[in-house]
Amino acid sequence: MKHAILLTHGPIGDALIEAVRGIMGLDEGLHALSVTDMSIAEISSRLESLVSGPEEKQDGVIIMASLRGGSCWNVAASIGSVRVNVRVVSGVNLPMVLSFVTKRQDLELDALAEEVQQDARRGICLAAPCAGC
């Protein structure tokens, strides 16, 4: 099973996992890591231990980092650049986590990362009079 790590500033990742649990009734393979009050070295160490688990190595991991260019993104991108089983997507929202959970069994890691990114964008819409939603 593919895993996802929600790497965020503050408890956003935990809240999203709780929401997925409420909607889907499951949270298996979802991990939250809040970087509040952590050094870059500590973030890197904690994230490295999450992506190094035996199941994660086998099936792959998508890291959803809260802000492109921020400390979460920089550490995740660094780890993702040297691991063939890790993909990194910036931003974290509920549509992308639900997309991950519902599509991870059917898609290979690269296709899943692309789909998660697209579904994150599709989940953002300006209410009326926007006709594009």
Q: Which domain holds residue 105?
A: 3-122
Residue 128 lies in a domain: no
Residue 130 lies in a domain: no
Residue 52 lies in a domain: yes
How far apart are alpha carbons 19 and 1 in whole angstroms? 20
Residue 86 lies in a domain: yes
98: which 2 tokens? 């639900």
Residue 56 lies in a domain: yes
Contact 92, 64 (CB under 8 A): yes
What does the pLDDT look like over 107-130, one tens digit per residue? 999 999 999 999 999 988 887 766
Contact 63, 80 (CB under 8 A): yes
What is this structure's pTM?
0.90
Residue 127 lies in a domain: no
Residue 132 lies in a domain: no
How far apart are alpha carbons 19 and 64 in whole angstroms? 16
What does the pLDDT look like over 60-76, one tens digit per residue? 999 999 888 888 999 99
Average pLDDT, the chain: 91
Find the CATH number of the domain harbouring 34: 3.40.50.510
Section 80-87 average pLDDT:
94
DSSP track, 66-112 = SSTTSHHHHHHHHHHTT-TTEEEEE---HHHHHHHHHHTTTS-HHHH
